[in-house]
Chain A
């Protein structure tokens, strides 16, 4: 069975890629992902804001209460140097590269334009095979127009592309007025790939404490419907590769997104919930299904049920929503 695929210009053994998650904080896990059959690993994100906060917090705590009481002029020893910048992350990339033979894709989230390019450059220097821009951003300013928000994405991408030669993917949320337009513009701005979609921390309300508490819920297979649709719509309309992420839990989910047109399928929640081993299970079941249904390769599958290639392209558009509702068996009130 030929499972190979090309994502961001990288030739991958299979479309099964480990998505950015805390699992990749451990080199051992990355090795286990490779052993389980991951064709590439996206590392956890380097968050510039986190680095800044950590630095500010460290300074505050090292200074708090100092030089005010004669017996305790300080409360902590102060080492000659701290690991406060991205060094640790860069070091991690290097270690991951050394430990594995599969492509290692770094992930970056910054809060200022200068930092995007600076860190992207450093990441490239360290030997990452590609870079995923995790432009994690929730605009809340009522006076900020959609156009400006979109321009920010494009500016970041262009700046990073100008700085590095390694392929650059953009991981996106679906929250754009016209996602297809946005995808097209990113494609034109030079994105080597789009990763659909990012899942945000969502706030929740604690009824007892009357407090708002952010938390992340692992995805359920339902979540894959959103990337499935957009990948199907964008298939063959862009030069950029397409990766699906969110809700890919089973071999069937992977097969479906491939049929919609994904070049790579990224696994996250399923690995956190069931362990890294699940990659090999999914691959095995995928192969079994393909054999059973007499497919020869992933290439053959890819896009076969995209909007362009499916029998009823309108199904992927808004109209089908109405039909779906009208076809849905309504629950009996008495049931």
Chain B
């Protein structure tokens, strides 16, 4: 076949693999997990568009409740003779392992595509390494690894061909993010290529083996000692044949497509003495380095491992050059306690076996060392490859080493030459620092397409994102050159650097990667004449030293004038092309315009027109600024973290914040993943352009703003007037309007440097200015001029005394919100709908809360380094927080409860035993303490302090034991927190079990009705008619009623709340849930960016209200204690609908876009949604209206079905 007929596209490996997988399968069972989700999303999308596979039919795709479910479904699909697949990574792959053993044991052909990702250990990581695929290597699956974006679809096809021929199931893996998300120009495979490799006869044979009542068989038997072992060995011929089959498939592929691969592929000098062995994306960087060093006289080699299982020891040994003396086997995983990492062990075993059997060319036994690199996508650079080779050349090469980190504890790391670089001069390297969602990344992906598809150049793009969801920085790394690009590492020497947000220049050293004479482009509101003196001094100095070419544009202004709002992407893209010279200017602009029409055409002519206008408006605003020799800058770069932060926060977390984490040594980190809380307060991110400003004369002191603030940046205190003595001049106060604090002062204070500017607070403010009704009691005003005075005001506010918790009525919002939040300044999206609930939880119970947090948004903004929003009060108490997994969170929290209860029971026993020494008063006080309110808890804490004081003077084993347990005598509040993906889907089984257990746990479901964290996939909570990923055609089924299911038990406290709709109802639910001695479930409606609402513009609470007013969301509380009192346990807190469901649906893009994509489905699903809502309302009205004193027939009602299992 003529290679030129194959389309060359610029895309990432996920998309490339999805193209192949989609066309070669009939059925798929999917579940989202980063970084594999896009593959499933593409397939689901194509199926909803009616695209057909290789055999002319549209694949059926089903989303499951977990990866465990997905693999079970695939197992069923395979047993019934279908070509089936799934996509996964990390923990998801681990959940598939049990079924993978079965699938392999039954010789069922399939290929799973895995974006290899770190497995959570001391911490979770979404990034790439081989710890997941290494965990499944015992399953009996073949494992084929691709090392580049081009190899990924190639190997997807080769694996599919090989599985059909060998009957052995395959995992096709490639490195998470580094390959899955790297954009490259690659050659796509055509239908003819797929047909050439896939034999329909084998497909037919596979069907004849399928389970069918027409030719019934029995599988999945149980076998005894007499049979199992022999039967297990029966598969050996298949494994023995597999490597040859894969090589044959590779050879067939080479014949058809032209790209040749080997199971173990040797590159480098034929007479190399030092050889590195590795697999995955690291091969590319190693290949580049070997080529570079050999061209300069070295004799080095590299073995790329393609087929890892079955491991063909003979072929591996044969791949090694005769001359080899030392070999380094690099593993991208860690197996603590092992004799060596897995690939290393395999290679050592193979070489020994090879020597014994005289395989290959080996003259002598080479020395083999093992090393670890690249965990969690840690950079793997040519400097590191060189370090490995240098080690091999040493007299006594280090083994079990690490490379790429500074291990100052165990001294495993190899020294690095940081100046070593293999980057060729003919590659243009560009770095772009953008603000998340400003379109920078999208424009860069577009630029790569323009260059990749419009010229002969090769192109590569890799994008680094922030761990924060608001105000985050993205860094785009782009390379363009005449030869294939193997640089699978970040750019450290750029010819072109662009800073798209001026503020970033004040924080990060962006000139550092610029090569001498390189070009720096800055988006700034300052003119070319003004800008020089506004630059930070180190930036000026670097420009001068590097003789940089410096350009400015006010892209924000150009964008605004072109009608693009804050989207500066197109403008900055034009500047890049104009300055980089990668294409002739006219051709570049023509290409940009063409791609604008292509990208935005379907979204309407206006969008196209304003982008075109922006292109035309750009160049006249682009100006070169002469780099003078005068250093007169604005001062040093801003510190990444407050200078008053504790040492660990400054020296470790601060460097992570500054982007210098790679330089931290091993000793800087805790050994067990334990970090201090209360650290987000030191970040001072200064994200908001506008912040709320309080008008004390208008304010009615309702504190709705405080309650809704997602980032705890607007707070109130009531205090005695004397406390104002040293107040800063601009500090505001008013007389307290709270009758119980008459004569006291009230202040509403904004943390100007922590606020994200979402304006939710302003939107919920009910107070209006009497003479100018557009003004409220808080109004958004520019942050910059307020930053310094408000910093002083905030600091003063913090030292004002906190209200005595015992004096606060916790069911009145205006008092409850005076409680200090112990969840503050998280990295959640601006305007987040989840975090106000967590903040409320932290205010009410934070000083005694222990939180089990399911993986998801709440675990990311709650626990992603560098800092955490969970905080401590003045006494040092605050929420203790931990994330176990996604699927087990309820069980994890139950574990807390059982353990704490036992410790309390034991402590109580010990207190009683020690009564003679402790005195009856103290003992009785402790044992019989009423801890149902703040006062009771306060008194118990006092008693425990007294107890500990006494115990410290005793010298008995019991006293020592009790001293370690005494704190458990004070009430502990166990909270199990997670999203709907956890509660409705993957964790539902466990949640159900934990709720059924009757134990005193509180479950908070932050219900965004979609998998928010992984980018909006459908969950069982997704309402009918909503468009989500995996429900591209609108969800056809209704939302699962989790609350109703829980209520059927009778003993579970259940509440459905929406803080934005009825805040005090939500508050009551929290207080009641926690006070209930059994299990409680709060289902909290959380508006979300994934709903398609202007979440960053403060509409969230309004949407919550509309959801409730239309009957889309019901408010209720089901309290089993009411049953015990003979009352109906269910209180319906919603009123009958005031609006139509459609009014709500059309106000959110998740529903409205269905009217634009599938109008007929929208009509039908929306009508059904109204029917759902009417029915639900009637049913709940009936349930809440039942008279429990009779059974409906005039007879006395039966006794309550269940009572609370009282725990100690």
Contact = CB atoms under 8 A, between A and B. Distances in A.
Contacts of A73: 38, 1015
Contact of A76 (B600, B1013, B1029, B1095): B1029
A77 to B, nearest CB: 4
Given A62-B1149, A74-B1015, A76-B1029, A84 B1090 contact: no
Interface stretch (A52-60, A191-199, A280-288, A325-333): A52-60
Instruction: Name the 7 nearest CB pairs between A and B, nearest first.
Output: A68-B436, A55-B604, A72-B1015, A61-B1149, A67-B441, A61-B1092, A77-B1032
Interface string A58-101: 11111111111111111111111111110010000000000000
A69 B472 contact: yes
B1153 A76 contact: yes
Given A58-B1149, A59-B604, A67-B437, A77 B1029 contact: yes
A70 B1156 contact: no
Nearest to B776: A210
B780 interface: no
Interface in B152-168: none
Per DSSP, are chain B's interface residues mostly helix, strand or loop, or mixed? mixed
Contact of A67 (B463, B1014, B1090): B463
Interface of A: 51-52, 54-85, 88, 210-211
B1157 A68 contact: no
Given A77-B1029, A83-B1159, A211 B436 contact: no
B1149 A70 contact: no
B408 interface: no
6 contacts: A54-B1152, A67-B442, A68-B466, A70-B126, A77-B44, A77-B48
A17 to B, nearest CB: 26
A64 B1092 contact: yes
A76 B48 CA distance: 14
A59 B1090 CA distance: 14
Per DSSP, are chain A's interface residues mostly helix, strand or loop, or mixed? loop
Contact of B1156 (A64, A83, A211): A83
A254 B282 CA distance: 83
Interface in B1129-1179: 1149-1150, 1152-1153, 1155-1159
Contact of B49 (A59, A80, A211): A80
A83 B1015 contact: no
Interface string B1081-1093: 0000000011011
Interface in B1084-1107: 1089-1090, 1092-1096
A21 B15 CA distance: 46
Contacts of B1149: 57-58, 61-62, 76
Contacts, number: 149
Given A64-B437, A76-B1027, A83-B1156, A71 B602 contact: no
A60 B768 CA distance: 30
A76 B602 contact: no
Interface in B459-503: 463, 465-466, 469, 472, 474
Contacts of A62: 603, 1092, 1149, 1153
B34 A71 contact: yes
B607 interface: yes
Interface in B262-288: none
B1032 A84 contact: no
Contacts of A210: 768, 773
A54 B607 CA distance: 12
Contact of B465 (A64, A68, A74, A85): A68
A69 B1016 CA distance: 13
Interface residues of B, number: 61
B1191 to A, nearest CB: 43
B41 interface: yes
B1015 A71 contact: yes
Contacts of A51: 604
Contacts of A78: 45
B440 to A, nearest CB: 8
A63 B1016 contact: no
B157 to A, nearest CB: 25
B1118 interface: no
B592 to A, nearest CB: 18
A85 B603 CA distance: 9
A82 B1156 contact: yes
A58 B466 contact: no
A52 B126 contact: no
Contacts of A61: 1092-1093, 1149, 1153
B933 interface: no
B1121 interface: no
A66 B445 CA distance: 13
B567 interface: yes
Interface string B429-450: 0000001110111100000000
A68 B441 CA distance: 8
Contacts of B602: 80-82, 84
A59 B439 CA distance: 12
Given A58-B1149, A82-B603, A83-B1159, A77 B1028 contact: yes
Given A70-B34, A210-B768, A79 B1157 contact: yes
Given A58-B1156, A79-B49, A68 B469 contact: yes
B48 A79 contact: yes
Contacts of B1029: 76-77
Nearest to A84: B604
A67 B44 CA distance: 20
Given A68-B469, A77-B41, A83-B1157, A59 B1014 contact: no
B1027 A59 contact: no
A55 B606 contact: yes
Given A58-B603, A70-B177, A72-B1016, 12 more contacts: A55-B607, A59-B603, A62-B1153, A63-B439, A64-B1095, A65-B1089, A69-B465, A70-B34, A70-B181, A71-B1014, A75-B1016, A83-B1156
B1061 interface: no
Question: Chain B CB within 10 Å — which of A71, A79, A82 has the most?
Answer: A71
B886 to A, nearest CB: 12
B679 interface: no
B1012 interface: yes
Given A55-B604, A82-B602, A74 B1016 contact: yes
A64 B1094 contact: yes
Interface in B569-614: 600, 602-604, 606-607
Contacts of B768: 210
A68 B472 contact: yes
B829 interface: yes
Contact of B1014 (A56, A72, A85): A72
A126 to B, nearest CB: 17
Interface in B4-53: 34-35, 37-38, 41, 44-45, 48-49
A66 B607 contact: no
Interface string B746-774: 00000000000000000000001000010
Contacts of A82: 602-603, 1153, 1156-1157
A76 B1092 contact: yes
A145 B1090 CA distance: 47
B437 A63 contact: yes
Contacts of A71: 34-35, 37, 126, 860, 1013-1015
Contacts of B437: 63-68
Given A55-B606, A65-B1089, A79-B1032, A72 B1012 contact: yes
Contacts of B1027: 76-77
B1156 A54 contact: yes
B91 to A, nearest CB: 13
A61 B1094 CA distance: 8
Contact of A65 (B606, B829, B1028): B829
Contacts of B1028: 76-77
Question: Chain B CB within 10 Å — which of A57, A61, A77 has the most?
Answer: A77
Contacts of B1015: 71-75
A95 to B, nearest CB: 11
Contacts of A81: 602, 1157
